[in-house]
Amino acid sequence: MQVFKAFFKVLRTKLTMAMIMMAVFIFIAVAYARTSSPTQKAFEDSRLNIALTDNDDTPESRSLIAFIGQKHNIVDPDPDMDRNIDRLYYGHLDCMLTIKKGYAEALKEGRTDDLFESKRMHDSYANIYILSRLDQYVGGVRASMLSGSSLDEAVSRTEELLSKEAKVSYADLNTRDDPEFSRTFSNYFQYMPYILIASVISALSPVLMAMQRREIRYRTGCSCIRSSSYFFQLILGSTAFVAVLWLIYMVVGIFLKGGMYEGKAWFAVLNSLVFSFVCTAMAILIATLTDNSRVVSFLTQILSLGMSFFCGIFVPLSIMGEGIKKIGRLLPAYWYISINDMLCGRETLESSKMISCFVIEALFGIVMAGAALVISRYSRDRI
């Protein structure tokens, strides 16, 4: 087993990036599990602290102040401008707003420009937010007056329209919290393909590239090790490495679950095992296609991020367009996520559909492994 031992000696020099990825993923998964809550908070508008000065002092300007006070906190500005600037700087105030003299008269004449003056910190979103709200207000008043309403009627109608609130609710993509496969647990397996692709390829492909260098092949050809035994030991070493990596993730999964896997959770374990095989075949194929480590790094990022966005890892399949899904079906991670969605309740659990997903996912690995074998034999014959 000289080749097998040599494989792991080379592997030790290539493990840094894979171990960093694994440690970060486990840390985030554990932190998420400890802080996640099944309840969702209702959406709330941001309330800004606005120092408001009314230089017009008319019923229309006072009506505007009352309207602003419905959504924001109105405070009196300090007579000392330097103190106001300090309050803006330290975040005690979000914005200083002044209603200019002649505001009501300008509205009667249909003018909506240069009605306000504001002071804020540079690039403050608060100023843009409040000024856009004021633009809606004066624009609504002007539109109502153009339709024939008086100023008082236009102000009342605009306030009524802008006071209506849209109902905002969170889409609960997990319809139930199954004790066998809880929401937190399903999220752990949801993001596993991304880290498996990245860690397996970044560690395994450089090792196989090193073991397949021409000078090593020449030495192997002169030795008593048969070519079939050489490649068998490489495959065995690759499988052993990925198996250890997969087992570490499964042990962490037991910790997150709070006990041994049970029921449908075992299907998630099987799903991750099949996908680990796919990642192994992917890494072997990449190693046969290139001997450039930069190309491997580039392909690792493309494959891991590409599948994450097109296959439902980062964005749930339920809210993705059909065009994106058609692209995703051409990638193995799509079928992994389809199984995970059925297990966690996002999709209807159908045994026949799950088996089909398992078969298609495994076929991706078989095809890539076969392609790697053919390319390897072709390149070996050319030496």
Q: For residue range 58-85, what is the model confidence (pLDDT) as tens digits?
A: 888 888 888 888 888 888 888 888 888 8
pLDDT tier for residue 270 given thresholds of 50, 70 and 90: very high
Determine the average pLDDT of the residues in 146-158. 82
Neighbours of 278 (CB within 10 A): 26
Determine the average pLDDT of the residues in 232-247. 87
235-268 burial string, b = 16+ CB within 10 Å, else e? bebbeebbeebbeebeebbeebbeeebeebbebb
List residues bridging with 95 in a β-sheet. 50
Could you say which of 3.40.50.180, 3.40.1710.10, 3.40.50.720, 3.30.470.10 is the CATH number of the domain covering 49-162? 3.40.1710.10
Give the model's pLDDT for residue 180.
72
Q: How far is the CA of 36 from the CAs of 168, 174, 187, 279, 340, in angstroms?
A: 21, 14, 11, 29, 19
Give the model's pLDDT for residue 96.
84
Task: Judge whether 119 and 94 are in contact, CB under 8 Å.
Answer: no
Give the model's pLDDT for residue 122.
63
Tell whether pTM > 0.85. Answer: no
Q: Write out the residue limits of the CATH 3.40.1710.10 domain(s) in the chain.
A: 49-162
The yes-or-no verdict on residue 38 having pLDDT over 50 is no
What does the H/E/C string look like for 27-49?
A: HHHHHHHHHCCCCCCCCCCCCCE
C-alpha–C-alpha distance, residues 307 and 158, integer Å: 48
Determine the average pLDDT of the residues in 349-361. 92
Dihedral sign for Cα 225, 228, 231, 233, please. Answer: negative
Percent of the chain whose pLDDT exceeds 90: 14
Q: How far is the CA of 318 from the CAs of 172, 173, 304, 309, 321, in angstroms?
A: 11, 8, 20, 13, 8
Task: Find the distance separating the first CA and the last CA of the chain, reported in whole Å.
Answer: 24
Of 134, 48, 143, 138, nearest to 98 by C-alpha is 134
